[in-house]
Chains A and B, each alone.
Chain A
Amino acid sequence: MKVLEEILQECELLAFDLNFSRAKQWKSEDPKRIIVGYLPIYVPREIIHAANGISVGIMGSGDRKQIIKGDAYYQSYICHLPRGIIEMALDNNLDGFDGFLFPAICDCVRNLSGMFKLSKKGKFQRYFDYPQNFDPNIGGTFYKQEIGKVIDDMFAINGIKITSEAINHSIGLYNKNRFLIEKIYEIRQAAPWKLTAVETYYILRAGQVIPVEEHNEILEQVVSHLQNERGEPMDNIRIVVSGSFCEQPPIGLIKSIELAGCYIVEDDFMLGSRWIQGDINATTDNPLEALADAYINQSTFSSAYYDVGNPKGKRLVKLSKERDADGIIFCAASFCDPALLDRPEMQKECDLAGIPHINFQFHENTGQFKVIKEQAGTFSDSIKLWA
């Protein structure tokens, strides 16, 4: 077993490898393998795995790439994520990808799917529509049809007909992946000092770009390491970060929050990996139905998911209580309509529940964290003072 520090270093490199070298290397080992890139937040990666593919999360270029060409494609009042992705596409970072999935989370991602179509990037470019009707016979059927289209797209490339057994096997692997990730969150729940939020971030983000089997191994090793003592408890407050489910905050921002005296005990940074809560049935004759049921009944709350009847503000409050959090930091990308339009009502729910909160806006390439650190520090101090 590798030492934890070594694992963390590797994960950091993988997480920010904008050339996606490991996925490309994996593909090169077998001509029938394919790479399917997907944007935040969620796609059922199980079907890509079952089709002899690797799903690669394209989480943006963050602060690791200078944006020159991408800016010529986007007005200043559009969030940063898509311009970074265009830059990557124009710089050939995404060469070797066979297809791209653009989940239905907002109109920027939706229209980006059209931009990829116009520029003929990859062999398919598909907007992946989430049903917003949660009746299994209506929304569930629609969801299965959406999955069916992706299966056809992949079949057209490698001719691999996916079987129920193959999907069940893939579901099993991703169940394990989700289980281990939650395990890490549970360990951090009891002892957040054992693994910082930044380290957790590296580990989860690495999982977006490598085979799930390899990620499961990493997770198992991390869980095992975390059985031992690591770090020292500090007089920090416990907080939930909400609103960063798509464009990712720069590492400097997450670090600044931690350095300001906050343990981030819950977040939505890599929400796609944690979207389905609990296991998906991996022993059925109809695995597509199992995936659809999971989407309908086991999805976490998110700005991309119609929430009337089960408002996300209330779910955030519940989550925050479960995590024993002292406060919530709303941390959304600038110009992100989905996150920012959810914020006022979510804040109202926090007020009703007596949960303190503050909010920031960021760009993925924000380089200045002084103000954020000060704000988070004041937040932390005020909670400590009044708790």
Chain B
Amino acid sequence: MSKEQHEAIKENSMLIQKEMLAKQFKELSTATELGKKVVYTFVPGNLTELILSFDMLPVYPEINALQSGMRKKSADYIRDAEKIGYSEDVCTYVKCDIGMMLNGNIGPTGEKLPPPDLLLLSYTGCFTFLKWFENLERLYPGVPVAMLHTPYQEDGKISQDQVDYMVKQMNEEVIPKMEMVSGKKFDLERLSKMLVNSAKAEDLLVKVLESAKHVPSPIDAYFAGVYYIGPIFTAFRGTEEAVEYYTELWKEVQERMRLGLGPITPEGELKEEKFRLVVEGPPNWTNFREFWKIFYDMGAVIVASSYTKVGGVYDQGFRHDPNAPLESLAKYCMGVYTNLNLPQRVDLLEKYVEEYKADGFLINSIKSCNSFSAGQLMIMREIEQRSGVPVGFIESDLVDPRYFSYANIKNRLESYFQMLGQRKIIMKQVEAEI
């Protein structure tokens, strides 16, 4: 098979995703005319299937913020939010979202996003979510807010009491508000059917992510991974389209594995996998391409990342369960990565380093995000002690370009890769001697 053909296969899943997104944003731009109700909500611990089961359309402000970052709009949005009193110190996703709203709420496709009919505050894994929607509630006066408090996995496990607490909130707070806003009755059967699709797509996503255990890895599980998780972490989980997308993606990945090919980068296929890394923390969006390039130029492939688990840690076995819809939504919310306690996070990352045969562990620490960042230096030490691989630490921000210093990051990464390279040589020598 020729190189063009591999890229054409790859492109197919990308095209499918592109079409899905275009359709989604088109639908959103005509929502008001068509009388469709719109729900703003968050990615971690989202109740997408429930929203869709009421024929409402979900909007994810975090996704809008990251898209604004990628489209180089975030700097202005953040500045505008700061002008009306938001501190320079706080999460830039919030400021970017508020700035976008102040500037007409133009979405990633250039079309205006409809205002919310319901703010679904799925308060999962991040305290700032609470503050964010308290702010939005005041900026969209009169819009109802449904609060779903997700208990933290304090004890490193999910207890039945916690599940009951969440299900009660869904039954008595979330679902009645959705019924009120949508004018429809809750349809458990419909939800359940959607969860069948969710589980199918989740199976496929796990296969895709775990393909990176293969050497060489056929995927980059961070930079490309953020595209792979897109549909399932947002508006498409539970739909047929998502299943089709992941079926196609998995087909392409299998083909790449069969041919022993490396991941596709924006500049084509990676020819030689030199370093395999596990990365903790979200990426930077304002300079996403430049950031990625530093890695692929050095032959570094991210084989596993925590960021691709913020919308669900499916690779550890969780699946939405059509036989227990609300309970499984509750367990899903509690199981997302940022809702795990620190020891669980360390255990998971350590496992990744081992199972994915990583050469190194790297943290991209995000200035905005206390949920991820507070404690990362300790995580780094733990991983270093437990796994013995070299660890690296860089800092940037999600959508505030003022905190992305290309030269600084490049320097640090180059020294880090140099260290990894030397270690590899030494290890080879040791192996040869043995």
Give Cα distance in the complex from A131 to B162, angstroms: 11
Chain A, residue nearest B367 (CB):
A77
**Which of A68-76, A154-162, A258-266 has 4 or more CB atoms under 8 Å from chain B?**
A68-76
Whether B131 lies near A342 (C-beta < 8 A) is yes
Given A78-B374, A114-B342, A118-B378, are A341 and B94 also a contact pair (CB < 8 Å)? Answer: yes
- Chain A residues within an 8 Å CB radius of B128: 107, 337, 341
Whether A117 lies near B342 (C-beta < 8 A) is yes
Give the contacting residue for B375; candidates A114, A137, A307; CB below 8 A.
Answer: A114
Whether B90 lies near A340 (C-beta < 8 A) is yes
Chain B interface residue count, Cβ-Cβ cutoff 8 angstroms: 51
Whether B127 lies near A338 (C-beta < 8 A) is yes
Q: Is B152 an interface residue (CB 8 A)?
A: yes
Q: Is B377 an interface residue (CB 8 A)?
A: yes
Give Cα distance in the complex from A129 to B149, angstroms: 10
Give the contacting residue for A117; candidates B135, B138, B343; CB below 8 A.
Answer: B343
Whether B89 lies near A118 (C-beta < 8 A) is no
Whether B91 lies near A337 (C-beta < 8 A) is yes
Pick from B138, B172, B343 the residue with the most CB of A within 10 Å. Answer: B138
Whether B377 lies near A361 (C-beta < 8 A) is no
Give the contacting residue for B365; candidates A75, A108, A138, A149; CB below 8 A.
Answer: A75
Whether A307 lies near B134 (C-beta < 8 A) is yes
The size class of the interface chain A forms with chain B is 35 or more
Given A126-B154, A129-B152, A311-B138, are A344 and B378 also a contact pair (CB < 8 Å)? Answer: no
Summarize A's interface: helix, strand, loop or mixed.
Answer: helix
Give Cα distance in the complex from A126 to B395, angstroms: 29
Q: Is B130 an interface residue (CB 8 A)?
A: yes
A50-84 residues with Cβ-Cβ distance < 8 A to B are 72-75, 77-78, 82
B235-283 residues with Cβ-Cβ distance < 8 A to A are none
Chain A, residue nearest B94 (CB):
A341
- Chain A residues within an 8 Å CB radius of B87: 332, 340, 343, 361
Give the contacting residue for A308; candidates B84, B85, B137, B373; CB below 8 A.
Answer: B137
Q: Is A145 an interface residue (CB 8 A)?
A: yes
Give Cα distance in the complex from A337 to B130, angstroms: 11
Q: Is A167 an interface residue (CB 8 A)?
A: no
Given A127-B154, A337-B91, are A118 and B165 also a contact pair (CB < 8 Å)? Answer: no
Whether B374 lies near A108 (C-beta < 8 A) is yes
Q: Is A306 an interface residue (CB 8 A)?
A: yes
Chain B, residue nearest A135 (CB):
B172
- Chain B residues within an 8 Å CB radius of A131: 149, 165
Give Cα distance in the complex from A303 to B147, angstroms: 16
B47-90 residues with Cβ-Cβ distance < 8 A to A are 84-87, 89-90
Give the contacting residue for A138; candidates B84, B123, B168; CB below 8 A.
Answer: B168
Measured between C-beta atoms, what is the minimum distance from A43 to chain B in Å?
14
Pick from B154, B161, B342 the residue with the most CB of A within 10 Å. Answer: B154
A75-B367, A306-B147 given; name 15 further pairs at CB < 8 Å. Answer: A73-B378, A75-B376, A77-B89, A78-B373, A107-B126, A110-B374, A111-B371, A112-B375, A113-B341, A115-B378, A132-B130, A141-B168, A145-B165, A307-B134, A341-B132
List residues of chain B with CB under 8 Å of any chain A CB: 84-87, 89-91, 94, 121, 123, 126-128, 130-135, 137-138, 145, 147, 149, 151-152, 154-155, 161, 165, 168-169, 172-173, 341-343, 345-346, 365, 367, 370-371, 373-378, 382, 395
